[in-house]
Every structure is written in structure tokens, then in C-alpha cells.
Amino acid sequence: MSPRRHAVFHNLAIFFFVAAAALSIPSGAAGQDVPPEESPAAEEPPADPAPTPTPAKPGAPARVWAALRDEAVRYGRDSVALVKRPLTWKKPQWEKAGGAILVIGGLMLVDKDIDRAAQRNRSHFTNSVSSTTTSLGGYNGFTASFAMLGAGLIFNHENLRDTGREAIEAGLMAYVLHSVLNRGFGRERPYESNGQTVFVIGSSHDSFPSGHATEAFAVASVVATRSKGWEIPALAYGAATIVAMDRVNGHVHFASDVVAGAILGTAVGRFIVRKHLDEKAGVLSKADLDIVPIRNGLAAKLRF
């Protein structure tokens, strides 16, 4: 595994653990009983019965473990539903998928020309923008997601909390999917192929689709889907688009790579948000995954 991918997996593990720890923190002391004020009595009241001992609250390690387990179950259910989703597509969904494939295929025919034009117009300004914003499609994307989760917990803002939580999940799922596709297609990057379209199926070449574009649009689509009005969605998708352009400017991805990543990330983010909103509204998923205790361990139960 390359140092870059090792660092990414290390950062994802840290974000996953910290997010679980944050979700395990109690939201406040609401609901605690306040003792009533004592009032003078004319005569000595009868002795109170012995108070019932309050069960001890689970410690921090137990809460973190429970949150990690709940997140793992949630991720498992969502992954199953995401993989199974195309089996339930109707004609409109297949038409959209076909249109996306045609757009990506058409871009591949002109990828070399776009790449050369991008390099001709590359400047100190575009390089400065790229160095500032590219990380939004990497570790800073996860940082922003965790910041939304943390702010939602601190200020008891349910939508902001769920936006951050789903952005982390969408980013992780999109990362896994793009990594699988990278290995499957094995496309060489522009600087490796001199702008030519070269696929080496199953190789370590990882140009298609763009991981930064996939991650940026996964987070942006969650933020946009959970936001009202047009201002925040426009900012979110605008930032993701800049990340995609950065990758073409940097000569590390073709135009078709970043468009494919944008489509993949957007599809994952929107799917996760809508699935959770449907579940909250009482619409049951057709695919489900349960973790059940068995003797000497746990077992996964998959239902369709």
C-alpha cells in the first residue's frame, strides 16, 4: 500500500473513532429531577422509605463502544441498500445512468484536448487556487464533516449534527467505491500517459474516477440535500467544482475522471440522506442488516 493511501486509511480510522466518541457524549442534563424546596412542618414528618438505588450509568469506554457498534450496523445497512439499489431502478433511473455514461464517454474522446488546453492556461493564480482548495476533496473534507457533527452536538442542532454524521459516512462510502473502480479500470493519469487515454485493467493506475472529486461531491451533496434555499447548496457544489477543476489544472486527472467522480459522489451522498429521511418518516428499507448476539460472539443477519 502506498504511503498516500496508508495515510488516508489512518485518517479515516481516526475520524471514525472520534465521531463515535462524539456521538456517545450525552447531549445535556435535560430531564434531571430537581429536588423541591423544603417547607416548614408543624410536626415531624414520618420517616421516608429507603431510596431506590439509581443504576450506574455506563462509563465513557462503554458508550464509545456502543456508538461504534451502532455506526458499524448503520454503515452495514446503508452499504447493502446502496449496492442493491440499482436492482429497483425504473426507467427514469436507467435513463439517467445511461445519460451519465454517454457524457463520460463523450468526454473521454476529448480528454486529451481538454488536458492540453488546461496546461496551456495554467498560471500562478490557478496553481494558488489549487493548492488552497484541493484538500477539500481529501482530509479537509472529513475535517469539515466532523466540524459540522461537533457543532451540531454542542449546540443541540439536530439537522447540523445529522449533516455532519452523514457527510462522514458518505465520504467513507464514496472512498471505498472509488477505490474499487480505480483498481477495476486501471486508467493511467495524464502525466503518465502523456495525455493519452490508457486503461490497464486491474493495475495500480488510479486516475478514473477522481478520488478528490468523489469525496468533495459526496460531502457537498449531503450538505446541499439537507439545506434549505439555494445559497448553501450553491456554495457547497461550487466548492466541489473548484476541487474538480484543481485536479485537471494539476495534470493529475482528465476531465472525464472528475466528472465521473462528481456523479459518483453526488449519487452516494443524496442516497444516504434520502434513505435516512425515509427511515425517520417510517418508510422501511427493503434491505436490512442486523448484528445479533450469539454464543461466543456476534453474527450478521441480512434481510432482503
Render pLDDT for 20-51 as a digit per residue (tens, 0 to 9): 555 544 444 333 444 444 545 455 666 556 66
pLDDT at position 13 is: 52
Write the DSSP assignment of 70-82 as a string of letters: HHHHHHHHHHHHH
Instruction: Provide the percentage of residues in the chain whose pLDDT is more than 90.
Output: 55
Q: Residue 72's pLDDT band (boundaries 50, 70, 90)?
A: confident
Greater confidence (233 vs 29) lies with 233
Above 90 in pLDDT, residue 60? no
In a domain, 31, yes or no: no
What b/e string do you get for 184-204 counting C-beta neighbours within 10 Å, with b at 16 or more? ebbbbbbeebebebebeeeee
The dihedral sign for the CA sequence 156, 160, 164, 169 = positive
pLDDT for position 112: 94
User: At residue 132, does pLDDT exceed 60?
Assistant: yes
The angle that helices 158-185 and 60-84 make with each other, rounded to 10 degrees, is 60
pTM: 0.75
Q: Is 235 within a domain?
A: yes
| Structure confidence at residue 201 (pLDDT) | 92
Cell of residue 37, nine digits = 424546596
User: Which residue is it, cell 417510517?
Assistant: 282
Query: 200: domain CATH number?
Result: 1.20.144
Question: Would 267 be classed as within a structural domain?
Answer: yes
Q: What is the pLDDT of residue 107?
A: 94
Q: Which of 11-15, 74-78, 233-237, 276-280 has the highest mean pLDDT?
A: 233-237
Q: Is residue 7 part of a domain?
A: no
**Number of independent structural domains in the chain:** 1
15: in domain = no
3-class secondary structure for 105-151? HHHHHHHHHHHHHHHHCCCHHHHHHHHHHHHHHCHHHHHHHHHHHHH
CB 7 within 8 A of CB 134: no
Residue 298's beta-bridge partner residues? 293
Domain with 186, as residue range(s), is 71-303
Which set of grid coordinates corresponds to residue 302?
441480512
Residues 213-230, mean pLDDT to the nearest whole number: 94
Helix (H, G, I), strand (E, B) or coil at 25: coil
Whether 152 maps to a domain, the answer reads yes
Say if residue 303's pLDDT is above 60: no
Distance in angstroms (rounded) separating the CA atoms of residues 256 and 130: 18
Residue 21 within any structural domain of the chain: no
Q: Tell me if 2 is assigned to some domain.
A: no
286 pLDDT above the threshold of 70:
no
Peptide bond into 209 cis (omega under 30): yes
What are the residues whose beta carbons fall under 8 Å from the beta carbon of 58, sequence distance 6 or more? 66
